[in-house]
Amino acid sequence: MRLVAIVCVQDQGPKKEDFRLLYYFDKGDGKLIKRIRKVGRRSMRTKSIIREHPVADLFEREIHDYYGVEFEGNPNLHVPLFLPEEEKNKHPLLKGEKNA
């Protein structure tokens, strides 16, 4: 199965503390398979899938840059990808008191 994308969604409303990580896989038959992983706002941690899907490295680093989610097992997670050094740990898409 090919990993198509990982989408991080920060839900608003009663459960706004949580993130949903949506993993889309392509089996090659035209339909995408969706797997959902919930990440608590307090822990902000989940497991990396780069062993099974090396392409997930960049996807996970992008989510880390934008939202600050930690992917355990990804050795490149803290290597800057998109954002400049001075923007590190600012997480521009994270909604919260600071970034609202």
Partner 1 sequence: MHDFVMPVGPQSPALKEPMLLKLKLEGEEVRSVDMRLGYTHKGVEGLLEGKNVDQAMYVASRICGICSISHERAFIRTVEDMMKKEVNERVKLIRTILFELERISSHLLWAGFMMHEIGFDTLFQYLWREREGVLDLFESICGNRVHKNICKIGSLRYDIAPVQEREVLDCLDSMQEKLKDYEDEIKKNKVIKERLKGVGKISKKTAIEYGLIGPNARASGIDNDVRRIDPYDSYADINFKTIVIKKGDAMERTLLRMREVHESMGIIRQCVEMLPSEKIPKFSLTNIKEGEAIGRVEAPRGELFYFLKVEDGLIRRAKVRTPTFAFIKILEKILKGVKIGDVPVIVASLDPCFSCMERVLVAKEDREEWMTEAEFRRKYSC
> Interface with partner 1 by CB under 8 A: which residues?
2-5, 7-10, 12, 22, 24, 28-32, 53-55, 57-59, 62, 66, 79-84, 92-93
**Shortest spacing between CB 92 and partner 1, in angstroms:** 6
**Shortest spacing between CB 21 and partner 1, in angstroms:** 11
Report DSSP letters for the chain, one per residue: -EEEEEEEEE--STTTT-EEEEEEEE-SSS-EEEEEEEE-TTT-EEE--TTT-TTHHHHHHHHHHHH--EEET-TTTTS--SS-GGGTT--TT--STTT-
Q: Which is nearer to partner 1, 44 or 55 (CB)?
A: 55
CA proximity to 99, closest of 79, 91, 5: 91
Q: Which is nearer to partner 1, 46 or 61 (CB)?
A: 61
Q: Which is nearer to partner 1, 73 or 80 (CB)?
A: 80
**Shortest spacing between CB 80 and partner 1, in angstroms:** 7
